[in-house]
Amino acid sequence: MIPGPRPDVGNGRVSSFDIVTTDLQKSKKFYKHLFAWEVIGNPETDRVVQIVLDNVSIGTMRASKDRPSTGNTVVYIQVENIVTACSKAKELNGNVPEGFPFNLPDGRGSVALVVDPTGHTIGIYCRTPMQLKDPAAK
């Protein structure tokens, strides 16, 4: 376990998140390879692990008998390239729902939803828009 409290990100900002899954091993593999997260076990239980990035605990992943719902709050994780991240998610047996990814207005970046192999939806965000193909090019 990573000792100490999580970093102070300021009031009103996301300080942590919890991914609920019916298959902890499958989810650990998916997110480790998609976002390069380290997953650290909990000596108190085998049903919860810490998600660590750059030696900082950023969230948890926990096993549940109940399937995660797909229509609730979505947390977005920043990625370097939205198209590459969507392709990687599919290679890891995830799904990108129809209509994603897409560019945000005014050049503010691009977003997509990814459904992991156990049915949990997570958002991905890239600070740069996707490069759209020139419609005049044939």
User: Domains of the chain: which residue ranges?
Assistant: 18-126
Average pLDDT for residues 42-64, to the nearest whole number?
86
The predicted structure's pLDDT at residue 137 = 43
Question: Global pTM?
Answer: 0.78
Lowest average pLDDT, out of 6-10, 42-46, 53-57, 94-98, goes to 6-10
Residue 133: strand, helix, or coil: coil
Q: Where are the beta strands (DSSP E) in 23-120?
A: 38-42, 45-53, 56-63, 76-78, 102-103, 110-115
The token pair at 48 is: 């919860």
Res 6 pLDDT > 70: no
List the CATH code of the domain at 18-126: 3.10.180.10
How far lies 72's CA from each of 42, 57, 107, 122, in Å?
27, 23, 27, 10
